[in-house]
A and B are shown apart, each in its own frame.
Chain A
């Protein structure tokens, strides 16, 4: 059973794990020939902080009743989640290379029926926060102390349902819920500021009744500090706005709109390996 570590997780070990996860992501995407590179790499450190440093869960018993729950509301970052889950032992690493293939347990977007460790199918944006709210309500009724974590994309919060759910999480005082927003500032058609303005973002969540903090989404001390702080907050859900770089870790992908939904070709993959192995 993976209980929460008693010690403060070692940032350098988490950084090394994240580097390996990024290597897995670019390999999976290159082999698959399609998929979402930018948002998988921007979310990598957040997922590593959650699964290796924060959540109570057990890869040998994915349905352990008291486990903390995670919902990848920005389901297109599935490669990052799969890489993290396989590294934790939820399923063999070889399966990563079957991503998006016919008959694979790793669907293009997360599907709980196929993949151990995936709680719920996601991918149609805007739906994960409501689901996480329901899980948090159930956890409260069950009284098992489980916490619920949900990762949102920044383009995703343009969906109206997100704000319905933002209202209800505060209304129901879901202090066992932590949402993380992957604020990489890009979406498929361009910069979020150009496609549909989101700012001021933090004041929006505060106004909706959320305890809101902003962190560097690539800093493990900041991410873990905010996640731990969220556990102490009473009567309110917590929103962690994690400022990230889309395509983080590979210079040619960083901050490039194009790599939202494009997989690395042969040359790009070679370049990515070179940089991530340096």
Chain B
């Protein structure tokens, strides 16, 4: 097994490095700087760090004002509170205003674990994906987290990036570069496409290994850039493999599964199975147990692939 990294920890390091390179970068947090890992930036650049207290609406509004003043604000809190509590501030003061604010929200998905359903954002991607002007990113590993943070610092406009708490295997090389609107083919295959986002990209790779043992050849995509989605890659995969499985640590509605469904329905309809939470909130428990409980493991993706394969022929 390769090395494991947590995307929130890698983000914290990346933000510190970006702060050293660019004096216009400022950071804000809402009393969670230890959890979101903005604490390293806060320690190094106390004049450029603003702890807003437990006040997420003010957090995002203040970030908007800093952007208007020519700064590059990176605002952090838990994904649930950023996108839930402060959705309308993001909508009005950041997305509608098209301001250069980077929202980097940690503790996305159910791998948050023990804190339970109140703290597990399973709808943040849906909430951000509907917003015009918003870029929505979920890195698959540490190198991609660092690449996305660097890209976001240089991009003019609003960005939402979700990071996770749980350490996960590294997929990309250390010098990985991020390109807006581009997904990657991580593994070639002919029979079915497994499209992952965030931590579940690695589960797709593991599922492809399992399927290979059964003689099923799976193409694996990393669709970490949820918006704008690499729709051409989705269509190409549909054409090439004839069936898709999407996998995300999110509700099966509103996130990657929905985004891929929309592309397929409009451009190249093929059978699709969605892996994600089914109309339910999260619950307390160890992350590993929750990933199993909600059917987000490699074997669940394998089963979804075996389920979608016969539908290819019954069209």
Contacts and interface: CB of A to CB of B under 8 A. Distances in A.
Interface of A: 65, 69, 111-113, 119-124, 126-127, 129-139, 141-142, 160-161, 164-165, 167-168, 171-172
A260 B27 CA distance: 39
Please report whether the interface of chain B is mostly helix, strand, loop or mixed according to DSSP. helix
A136 B88 contact: no
B68 interface: yes
Q: Which 10 pairs between the two chains have the least Cβ-Cβ distance?
A: A134-B65, A138-B69, A130-B61, A164-B58, A164-B55, A134-B62, A131-B65, A135-B65, A134-B66, A161-B57
Nearest to A124: B92
Contact of A142 (B50, B69, B88, B92): B69
Contacts of A139: 69
B69 A135 contact: yes
B172 interface: no
Given A122-B92, A167-B58, 11 more contacts: A120-B65, A127-B57, A134-B61, A134-B69, A137-B26, A138-B68, A138-B70, A141-B26, A160-B57, A164-B57, A172-B50
B71 interface: yes
Given A130-B89, A137-B62, A165-B61, A112 B69 contact: no
Interface string B61-89: 11111111111010000000000000011
B150 interface: no
Contacts of B47: 141
Nearest to B97: A121
A4 to B, nearest CB: 20
Nearest to A148: B65
21 contacts: A65-B70, A112-B97, A120-B97, A121-B93, A121-B97, A124-B92, A130-B58, A130-B61, A130-B64, A130-B89, A132-B65, A133-B62, A137-B65, A137-B66, A137-B69, A138-B65, A138-B70, A141-B47, A164-B52, A164-B55, A165-B58
Contacts of A131: 61-62, 64-65, 68, 93
Please classify how large the interface on chain B is, using the bins under 10, 10 to 19, 20 to 34, 35 or more: 20 to 34
A121 B69 contact: no
A112 B89 CA distance: 16
A38 to B, nearest CB: 23
A278 to B, nearest CB: 40
Contacts of B98: 113
A44 B66 CA distance: 28
B92 A167 contact: no
B310 interface: no
A20 B271 CA distance: 66
Contact of A138 (B57, B71, B89, B93): B71
Interface in B31-74: 47-48, 50, 52-53, 55, 57-58, 60-71, 73
Nearest to B88: A124
Contacts of B64: 120, 130-131, 134
Interface in B203-243: none
Contacts of A165: 58, 61-62
